[in-house]
Amino acid sequence: MAVNVERVEQFAQLINESMSKLVVVDFYSQTCAPCRIVDGILDELTGTYSTVSFYKVDVQRFGEVAAQCQISATPTLQFFRKARKVNEVRGANKKAITDAIDAALDDAASTPKSAYGVVGHADITSTVIASQSECLNQNDDYPMENVFKSDDAVLESDVDEQMVLHVMFNQPVKLHSVMLRAPVERAPRNIKLFANRTDVGFEDAEAGGETQAVEMTKEIYESGGVVNLRYVRFQNVHSLSIFIEDNLGDEDVTAITQLAFIGTAVNTANMSDIRQGEDHSH
């Protein structure tokens, strides 16, 4: 069971505890229905992850702590190692929470990280907010959500071969690479990426101004579908718009089986700045 924080000093202590282990903090409110779902998830996870500490912070009682941790909605779970936030999950999503825990524990291992063959970076696709992401010109029978599944489901275009994908992240990320898997003949060929542009439509994309343009080839797909980005241009990405202009086989329909993002989450909160303030216990 997660431990309720009763004093600001206790929050400072749990941040110190993160110097030697992973600490998960659930920011909740008493009136939040999804927060009660998270309670059940954490009750289960405390038995699964014996080396991880779980805490709960009432944002109404500890408004200053919530503000310094940049909490804007509940439930929000933040993950701390070595007094720094290493990840964040919003909402009562058990898979996203467990994926974040596993990623943080993997990061602590001594062996270098590798995501789809990219050493030193992680698969950060779990930071995508699927419910706030969308695809323009998708076939509704084969929607965008399929690219984030582990099965053979596909995303397909509708009236022609072009698509614009708007991807939202739940925190700022540094993007090192993207990974695409697709049926070769219908696989995307010419792609334009727009960082932090949620207003991109087809005319905007064709007009240019992209952060980076990529030409995919059959060889790239056969070797895993990973394309490295100009890392310096993707350092603080909240959203990514992806314009797909055509496909390898000049087919009428473009298809994608899987889309993944490789990089790191931006550490937006330095927990050494949390001050020990007034006792809020009652």
Active site residues: 32, 35
**Cβ-based neighbours of 202, under 8 Å, separated by 6 or more:** 136, 137, 162, 164, 243
DSSP per-residue letters across 165-213: EEEEEEEEEEEEEEEEE--GGGSB-EEEEEET-S---HHHHHH---SEE
DSSP 93-131: -HHHHHHHHHHHHHHHSSSPPEETTEET-EE-GGGB-GG
Own/partner contacts of 62-67, CB < 8 Å, gap of 24 or more, are: 62/5, 62/8, 62/11, 62/280, 64/8, 64/277, 65/8, 65/11, 65/274, 66/27
Q: Which residues contact 41 (CB under 8 A, 6 or more apart)?
A: 92, 94, 97
* Residue 2 DSSP code: P
- Name the pairing type of β-strands 122-123 and 226-228: unpaired
